[in-house]
Amino acid sequence: MDTLDAIILGIVQGLTEFLPVSSSGHLELGKAILGDNSVPEESLLFTVVLHFATALSTLVVFRKDVWEIIRGLLSFKWNEETQFSLKIIVSMLPAVVVGLFFEEQLEAFFGGDIRFVGFMLLITAVLLYFADKAKDTDKKVSFKNAFIVGVSQAIAMLPGISRSGATISTSVLLGVDKTKAARFSFLMVVPLIFGKIGKDLMSGELNFDGENNVAMGAGFIAAFIAGLAACTWMIQLVKKSKLTYFAVYCLIVGLIAIGYSFWAAS
């Protein structure tokens, strides 16, 4: 992968991370279109690097929320911030299990199989469509809901299943307020990404060779800058716009991906 391709994929990641359209799915489609022939492990490594960049952009955008949570935790009381942090931990459990025990199986899905990505985008479209029919409420995320949303986040580790789309839709279908659902969705993934990076650094699995460092660095910067802009703008779009628009988009892209896979194989 050259530097220009990495920058393009970084921009794709930054723009799609905060939309319910599957950033990982778009990365796999982008790699296929650009002719990236990385093995699954290398492809997943690049995906992790770009997700790390957007996690940093999330912290920047939500810096006030994060600071309030930290202050609440330091008060050592059973307050709203402490409960919110524990709900984040509960939501992480399913994805942690998948990451610890099924990482090799997961890597196999990041090998450029755009037909699989297309079908997963169709599932995302259906999920978003039904979530759009849910009624607005002022309900907060409960501990039980946090775990269920965490399960949807674990499933969304598959390319083509939108993480934000799956978690926000699951929350909304459970009766959670859309604004609270979006906030919880964007914040719940940050500890997972940092945990993934920390785990791989300690185990030595993140091997950056000199040939790919420049490209990965360029992709990281592009994803971070695009993520800052997209997060600020798209959060409002997710909260106020109808999810049906994103469902239609995922439906169209999914069908195109499936059609392209059959055409390329012929």
Phi, psi of 207 (to 5 degrees): -100, 105
Return the pLDDT at 123: 92
Return the pLDDT at 111: 66
Return the pLDDT at 39: 42
- CA distance linking residue 248 with residue 254, whole number of Å: 10
Report which secondary-structure segment, H or E, holds 254.
helix 243-265
- CA distance linking residue 107 with residue 242, whole number of Å: 33
Nearest to 137, CA basis, from 98, 87, 179, 165: 179
- CA distance linking residue 6 with residue 41, whole number of Å: 16
Return the pLDDT at 239: 67
Return the pLDDT at 112: 64
Nearest to 215, CA basis, from 49, 37, 16, 58: 49
- CA distance linking residue 174 with residue 139, whole number of Å: 9
- CA distance linking residue 65 with residue 2, whole number of Å: 37
Return the pLDDT at 132: 82
Q: What is the DSSP string of 114-145?
A: HHHHHHHHHHHHHHHHHHHTSPP--BPPPHHH
Return the pLDDT at 167: 92
Q: DSSP assignment, residue 108?
A: G
Q: DSSP assignment, residue 77?
A: S
Return the pLDDT at 27: 67
- CA distance linking residue 101 with residue 105, whole number of Å: 9
Each of the 266 residues of the chain gets a pLDDT tens digit; together they read 678 878 887 888 788 777 888 766 776 776 666 666 554 445 567 777 888 898 899 899 888 888 888 888 888 888 888 899 899 999 989 988 887 777 777 777 666 678 888 899 999 999 988 888 877 788 888 999 999 999 999 998 888 888 888 998 999 899 888 888 888 888 888 887 787 777 766 766 655 555 667 888 888 999 999 989 888 877 777 667 578 888 999 999 899 989 988 887 77
Residue pair 43/212 in contact (Cβ under 8 Å)? The answer is no
Phi-psi region of 57 (alpha: psi -120 to 50; beta: other; left: phi over 0): alpha
205 CB contacts (<8 Å, ≥6 apart)?
A: 199
